[in-house]
Amino acid sequence: MRTLTATLCAHTLFCCSVFADEGMWLFNALPAQQLKQQHDFTVTEAWSEHLMLSSVRFNSGGSASFISSNGLVLTNHHVASDTLYKLSTPERDLASGGYYAQTLADELPAPDLELNQLVSIEDVTQRINASVTDSMSVAEASKARQAAMATIEQASKKATGLRSDVVTLYGGGRYHLYRYKRYTDVRLVWAPEAKAAFFGGDADNFEYPRYCLDVTIFRVYEDGKPAQLENFLKVNPAGAQAGDLVFVSGNPGRTQRILTTAALEYQRDHRMPRVLDLLRRKEILLQQYGLSGPEQARRGHDELFGIQNSRKAYTGMLAGLQDPSFLADKRNKEARLKSTVSDLSPWETIAEVTQARIGLQNRSGSLRSGLYRFAEELVLLATEDTKPSEKRLREFRDSNRQSLEQSLFSPAPLYDDLERLQLADELARFTETRGGNDELVQQVLAGKGPRERAAELIAGTNMFSAEARQALAKLGPAGIADSRDALIGLAKILEPEYRALREITEELDERERQAYAKITEAKFAAEGDSVYPDATFTLRLAYGLVKGYEEDGQSIPPRTTLGGAFQHEAAHQRLEDWVLPDSYEAAKDKLDLDTPLNFVCTADIIGGNSGSPVVDRQGQLVGVIFDGNIQSLTADFYHSEVQGRAVAVHIAAVLEVLDKVYNAAELKKQIGK
């Protein structure tokens, strides 16, 4: 493949504002000179291309890697948890009790999982920008840009058969076409018990030292057989050692380091507090639901975990923004950049856009409910399918069709009591946000309270059935118009407001894109063209050293051990979340308790990196990212190596427990082969 050709030599300047090991680097713009100067490491095209092709993205959110020639995929237990819960039943709780398929026939097909392998990257900036002229209004520019992206994506998909996504980088300064091979026949091979994967529970989340076996193994299939892979990661069984240079290849979800001070103040004072209020609300709702009984606790556990994780992450981000020294430093850097340009309008535009977003925050045209989302997508799909692909909303373009349908028609189980509870809460929140006298609120509630209305809607819908959703989608606009489904009716009521808000938001996004594109060019002019872009849930390379840190006057070691997990359990008197699985207790005498379990490194990561492989200089697998410590939670806005650390499962622990705890010697033999 020629996707990385010339990039390792053409993009070697490193940004003067990047210190130490900061950066989530594009695979077609790796910091070769910086790595050579700081770590005496020479990046080769063969090394980087092999790592790129061995890396995987989960459509459900998260990262992974191929670890065998016969299709094995290694990720986190918490990345896999969505699938584990969908495969579970009241009689067989795989998320809690774990699973091991001793034969290929025992491997369990995931109901709606899509894995993406990035195979090429192409810069299409000129083609996108050529579609927009100075004479266009903001609305016209937005539509023209979206149409150009859709045309490029569809032409690429038609020519290659690959999933093709145009990715916006640098806030609109660059556009790259990412092509992916899709794997949709994905089967569960092995998952440890939740007590091992999430040992220490919510209390230990984002803390370090940690003692978690947060890993799960799947296998990808093609034509009903295990996929035969040329690119997969060999394993260094000794794993990461203190002081080692390591690399993280994964899909960080989103950072906002390009934001101006005005945009950061909006995040600090408006957006993030509102998001945290929502997360706290949902957390309490699901906690109360789980208290109804063990089956309710099982049904709500995965979503509750995700919400708790997000709540802690946003708390850390907001704390970083509320530190006056951070914004003071940002203002100083911004002032220096402004001094290099004559046109300050981009910063003024972004300030105006943030004020417009504040004015929209009490409007809503959608509901955060899984079952309602299906109805909303079907209503939107019926109209979007009547338009040429390039004029549709992005998620309904032909290039995205397979992924949309896999999610929309998923056979994964849904639970009426949980859907009713969540919809009632969403209706209540919708009423609180817009006000009870709002005309749209009154239409939505139809003279009933949120709980009564939610019960009526859930009782009157067929959205629980994947077959019913498929049948309705085939009927098109006529089917939607004639449908008597209660949730379809609700989605039709909300559709005009949804579309109006989306149009306003996309125009604001376009204004920001144009402004940030100019700011990006100013940064390139001042600092060179190797400034890394903000994360976009696309493949990036980060790197750093395996290294401990100082906290409260104590030296925190870079690694923990299996023996330390048993000690941590005893220190907490085997209470609540500090209880290892019975399988560990039974195997304790066989285990090498000095085996490393978790380790930390200075690599620059964020949400979305969960499941990312950690490799050594030779590109061999030494660990799997599963968390960051509490000090790393400012990474949305800045990276600090003083105490911030990425936390990983050590590969030696995975190999040790597969053999001695789970009696999975055959699976262990396949890894790296």
pLDDT digits (tens, 9 = 90+) for 451-499: 999 999 999 999 999 999 999 999 999 999 999 999 999 999 999 999 9
What is the C-alpha separation between 414 and 246, in angstroms, rounded? Answer: 41
Distances (CA, A) of 423 to 274, 299, 344, 419: 19, 16, 45, 6
Percent of the chain with pLDDT over 70: 97
Q: How confident is the model at residue 525 (pLDDT cuts 50, 70, 90)?
A: confident
pLDDT of 543 over the 80 cut: yes
What is the C-alpha separation between 148 and 154, in angstroms, rounded? Answer: 10
Percent of the chain with pLDDT over 90: 89
Please, what are the domains in the chain? 7-114+184-256+533-670 (2.40.10.120), 261-516 (no CATH)
Length of the chain counted residue by residue: 673
Angle between helices 486-527 and 324-338 (to 10 degrees): 60
Mean pLDDT over 344-363 rounds to 95
Report pLDDT for 528.
Answer: 73
For residue range 377-428, list pLDDT tens digits in order.
999 999 999 999 999 999 999 988 999 999 999 999 999 999 999 999 999 9
**List of residues 6+ apart from 62 with CB closer than 8 A:** 75, 76, 78, 79, 251, 608, 610, 611
**List of residues 6+ apart from 385 with CB closer than 8 A:** 392, 396, 476
What is the C-alpha separation between 604 and 645, in angstroms, rounded? Answer: 8
**Which candidate, 381, 369, 363, 382, places its Cα nearest to that of 487?**
369
Q: Is 161 exposed, middle or buried (0-12, 13-18, 19+ CB in 10 A)?
A: exposed
For residue range 216-228, list pLDDT tens digits in order.
999 999 999 999 9
What is the C-alpha separation between 599 and 547, in angstroms, rounded? Answer: 8
CB of 53 closer than 8 Å to CB of 117: yes
Distance, C-alpha 653 to centroid of its chain = 25
With residue 647 as reference, give the H or E element that holds it. strand 646-650
Structure tokens at 473: 């989608």
Helix (H, G, I), strand (E, B) or coil at 504: helix
Q: Is the peptide bond before 252 cis (omega within 30 degrees of 0)?
A: no
Give the other-Cβ count within 10 Å of 515's Cβ: 23
What is the C-alpha separation between 654 and 77, in angstroms, rounded? Answer: 12
Radius of gyration of the chain from its Cα atoms, rounded to whole angstroms:
25
**List of residues 6+ apart from 625 with CB closer than 8 A:** 63, 76, 248, 250, 603, 605, 609, 610, 611, 612, 613, 614, 646, 647, 648
pLDDT of 355 over the 50 cut: yes
Q: How confident is the model at residue 309 (pLDDT cuts 50, 70, 90)?
A: confident
Report pLDDT for 174.
Answer: 93
Location of structure tokens 């209470």: 575
Q: Is 100 exposed, middle or buried (0-12, 13-18, 19+ CB in 10 A)?
A: middle
Q: How far apart are the first and last CA of the chain?
A: 23
Mean pLDDT over 610-622 rounds to 98
Pairing of strands 72-75, 559-561: unpaired
Report pLDDT for 529.
Answer: 64
Pairing of strands 72-75, 216-222: antiparallel
**List of residues 6+ apart from 156 with CB closer than 8 A:** 162, 164, 177, 179, 399
Query: 183: which strand partners?
Result: 115
Location of structure tokens 């006057």: 553
Structure tokens at 498: 């949804």
Give the other-Cβ count within 10 Å of 440's Cβ: 16
**List of residues 6+ apart from 627 with CB closer than 8 A:** 205, 206, 210, 212, 214, 610, 646, 647
What is the C-alpha separation between 439 and 430, in angstroms, rounded? Answer: 12
**List of residues 6+ apart from 402 with CB closer than 8 A:** 163, 182, 184
Distance, C-alpha 34 to centroid of its chain = 28
pLDDT of 7 over the 50 cut: no
What is the C-alpha separation between 617 and 638, in angstroms, rounded? Answer: 26
For 410-475, give the DSSP string: ------HHHHHHHHHHHHHHHHHHH-TT-HHHHHHHTTS-HHHHHHHHHHT--TT-HHHHHHHHHH
What is the C-alpha separation between 159 and 162, in angstroms, rounded? Answer: 8
For 107-170, give the DSSP string: PEEPSS--EEEEEEEEE-HHHHHTT--TTS-HHHHHHHHHHHHHHHHHHHHHHH-SEEEEEEET
Q: How confident is the model at residue 287 (pLDDT cuts 50, 70, 90)?
A: very high
Q: Is 378 exposed, middle or buried (0-12, 13-18, 19+ CB in 10 A)?
A: buried
**Which candidate, 613, 603, 623, 529, places its Cα nearest to that of 52?**
613
Mean pLDDT over 554-568 rounds to 97
Task: Report the mean per-residue pLDDT for the chain.
Answer: 93
What is the C-alpha separation between 371 and 383, in angstroms, rounded? Answer: 20
Structure tokens at 171: 């806030």
What is the C-alpha separation between 267 and 264, in angstroms, rounded? Answer: 5
CB of 647 closer than 8 Å to CB of 618: no
**List of residues 6+ apart from 642 with CB closer than 8 A:** 549, 631
pTM summary value: 0.90
What is the C-alpha separation between 551 and 490, in angstroms, rounded? Answer: 53
For residue range 627-643, list pLDDT tens digits in order.
999 999 889 998 989 99
What stretches of 232-293 show up as alpha helix (H) in DSSP?
A: 261-266, 272-290
Structure tokens at 467: 């077959």
pLDDT of 4 over the 60 cut: no
